[in-house]
A and B are shown apart, each in its own frame.
Chain A
C-alpha cells in the first residue's frame, strides 16, 4: 500500500518536531502564516475578499467545533453570538473610535460574557431542547437591534469604518511581494491573523486537560461527574470559549462587511456554521476550516456554472442553494465523519498495517 511507504519518512519528520504542545502548535501556525501570506499575495483582490469572508466563518466555526465536537453541545444560535461581537465592534469603531484591536478584544469579552449567560442556561439542556433554545436565540437576538434602534440602528444596522492598513505593514508587504495593499487584502490579513491566533489557542486547549475533560463530559456524564468533573462549569466554559470565538468572528465580519445589521445574522448564518463544522468533520479544527471554505467558495462557483450553462440569473441563484443542500446530504451519507473523517479513514487504512494494534490480552 502506498501510504505504508510514506509512514517512515513521516515518522522521521515527527522526530524533528518540537516535543512540547506549544512548540508544535506554534510551528504549525508559523507554517500556516507563511502559507497565508503566499496565498494572499498571489491571488486577486477578489479572492482576497473571499478569503477575508472565509476567515470570519472559520473563526466562528472553529469555536463551534470545540463546543459541539468536543463538548457535545449543539448550538443553532452561534449567529446570534456573532451579532453580539459585531455590534460591540460597530459601537466601538463608531464616532470616537478606539483602536481596532481594542474593539476586537472587547467584542470577544462581551460575547464571552453573553456566553456565560447562554451557557449557563444551555448547560441544563440536552439534544433537541438545546437545539430549540439556541434556535430561538438565533432568531431572538437580532430583534434586540431592532428594538433598541436608537443605539443599534434598527433594521439598517450600524456602519463600521473598517481599519486601514498602517503604512509600515503595507510597506513591509510591498517589500516582500511588490504588491500594493488593497483594503480587501488588509482585511484578509487581519481575519487570517485572528483566525490563526484563535486556532493556536484552541489547539492548545484541545491538547490540554480541557480537551480531555470536555470530551469525557460529552461521552459519559455520570462517569465524568464521578471523576470529579463539574459538568455545569465545564459546559459553561466550553460555551464561553466558543462564544468568545464567535464574538471575534462577528468583529471581523463587521470590519469586513463594514456593517452590523440584523439581517446579517439570520438563522441561515447559524445553520451554515453548524453545517460547515459537520461537513468538515466534527471536532477538528482543520475540518472547520474546510467547511468554511465550502461555505464561501461553493455557492459562487455553482452560480457561475449555472450562468454559463445558460440559466437566467434567478435560476442560477437558486441553483447554488440547491447544490449546497445536495452536497450537505451527500457528504453526510457518504462520509458521516465529514471530510476530515474521510481523510483520517484513508490515512488509517494505509497505516494500520504497519503499526502493532494486536490487542492486549
Chain B
C-alpha cells in the first residue's frame, strides 16, 4: 500500500492556507470485487471551493458517502478539525456543522417548502419532547426560532414566496433551490454538493455559480458536478478521480489541460466548452 499521507502532506504544504477543516485520508471502499475508491485523500479548507470530478462511476458519490457516514470505508481515516472521527453516522453531520445535498432532490414530498427547510435547521432546536407534548411556550419559541432561520435561508435563495407551497408543485430549478436552502439552514461550516447543477438550464447554472462563490466566504464547499463551466468557474482546487483513484489535482487551469483528465473525462471538445462561461 502506498503511504496514504504523502499526497495529503504535499497538498497541505502546497499553500499557506489555514489547516483543513475536514480531511479524508487514504480512503478505500470495496463493493464485492469492485474497488470503488482506492486510497483517496481529500482536504476541505475553510473558504475554499473544492471540486471533485471524474467519469461516471469514478467514485465521487461514494467519496461523499464516506464523508457522510453512509458508507463505511474499508480503510482510511476521516478528520474533523484535526481530530479523527471514527464510526461516523450520517445523523451526526448536522451537529458537527456539515451539510450535504443529494444527487437527486431528496425533498420531503409531504412537507411544505418552509417545513422542508425547517427540518434542515433542526439542529438548532432547544426544547424536548415534554414541552412539545404540552405545547409549552418554550416549544413555541423554539419553532419561531427555527422558522426564522429557515426563512433567512429561503430569502437568501429567493424562495420566500414559496414558503407554503408543496415541493411537487414547483418547477425543477426551484425545487433544487429548496434542497439547497435546507442544507444552508443548518448553517454548515462544510457544504457537500453532489451535482447541484444537474437538470438546470444555463442561466440557473450561472446563478448557482455565483451563489456558491458567495458561500465560500462563510464556509468551505466541496462540489461534484459534470458541468465543466460551473466547476471551472467556481472551484479553487479540483481533484480528479478515475476508477476510484486520484488521477490529478490542482487548480482548474492545471486540471483542464492535464492530458490524463482530458483522456479519461473531458474528451476532445473539452477545452472548447470550458472557454465559454
Q: Do A and B touch (CB < 8 Å)?
A: yes
Question: Which residues does A use to contact B, with CB under 8 Å?
Answer: 20-22, 25, 201, 204-205, 207-210, 212-213, 215-216, 218-220, 222-231, 237, 357, 359-361
**In the complex with contacts A223-B107, A359-B169, A360-B174, A209-B143 CB distance below 8 A:** yes
A220 touches which of B93, B106, B135 (Cβ 8 Å) = B106
**How far apart are A278's CB and chain B's nearest CB, in angstroms?**
16
The listed residue (B108, B125, B136) touching A215 by CB distance below 8 A is B108
- In the complex, 19 of the A-B residue pairs with CB atoms within 8 angstroms, ordered by the A residue number, are A20-B135, A208-B132, A208-B139, A209-B122, A209-B125, A212-B119, A216-B119, A219-B107, A219-B108, A224-B108, A226-B93, A226-B102, A228-B91, A228-B122, A229-B122, A231-B91, A359-B171, A360-B159, A361-B171
Q: Is B57 located at the chain interface by the 8 A CB criterion? A: no
CA distance A325 to B187 in the complex (A): 52
Taking a contact as CB atoms under 8 Å apart, the answer to whether A228 and B94 are in contact is yes
Expressed in whole angstroms, the Cα–Cα distance for A223 and B186 within the complex equals 13
Chain B positions within 8 Å of A, measured between CB atoms, are 68, 70, 90-95, 99-100, 102, 106-111, 115-116, 118-120, 122-123, 125, 129, 132-137, 139-140, 142-143, 146, 159, 161-162, 165, 169-171, 174, 182, 186
The count of A-to-B residue pairs whose CB atoms sit within 8 angstroms is: 116
**Are A204 and B133 touching (Cβ within 8 A)?**
yes
Q: Are A224 and B119 in contact (CB under 8 A)?
A: yes
Residue from A208, A229, A237 with most neighbouring chain B CB atoms (10 Å): A208
Q: Let me know if B115 and A357 touch, CB within 8 A.
A: no
Complex CA distance for A131 and B28, rounded to whole angstroms: 38
A227 touches B170 (CB 8 A): no
- Whether B91 lies near A213 (C-beta < 8 A) is no
Q: Are B110 and A219 in contact (CB under 8 A)?
A: yes
Contact indicator A357/B133 (Cβ below 8 Å): no
With contacts A204-B135, A226-B100, A229-B91 taken as known, whether A215 is within 8 angstroms of B142 at the C-beta atoms is: no
Q: Is the CB of B143 within 8 A of A227?
A: no
Q: Which residues from chain B contact A224 at a C-beta distance below 8 Å? A: 108, 119
The answer, among B68, B111, B139, B171, for a CB contact under 8 Å with A212, is: B111
Query: With A201-B133, A216-B111, A360-B161 in contact, do A226 and B170 touch (Cβ < 8 Å)?
Result: no
Which residues of chain A are near B116, meaning CB under 8 Å? 216
* Given A201-B133, A360-B174, A227 and B165 contact (CB-CB distance below 8 Å): no
- A48 to B: closest C-beta gap in Å: 30
Q: How far is the CB of B268 from chain A (nearest CB, A)?
A: 37
Q: Bound state CA distance, A134 and B162, in angstroms?
A: 40
Query: Which residues on the A side are within 8 Å of B109 (C-beta)?
Result: 219-220
Contact of A230 among B91, B106, B174 (CB under 8 A): B91
Query: What CA separation (Å) do A173 and B171 show in the bound complex?
Result: 58
Report the Cα distance A154→B119, complex, angstroms. 48
Do B165 and A209 touch (CB < 8 A)? Answer: no
Contact status A212-B115, CB under 8 Å: yes
Give the contacting residue for B95; candidates A20, A205, A228; CB below 8 A.
A228
Contact B162 A227 (CB under 8 A): no
**Considering only CB atoms, which chain A residue lies closest to B108 in the complex?**
A219
Q: How far is the CB of B97 from chain A (nearest CB, A)?
A: 10
A5 to B136, CA, bound (A): 36
Cβ-defined partner of B174 (8 Å) among A20, A201, A227, A361: A361
CB distance from A225 to the nearest CB of B (A): 4
- 7 closest A-B pairs by beta carbon, nearest first, are A228-B94, A22-B135, A208-B132, A223-B106, A219-B108, A204-B135, A225-B90
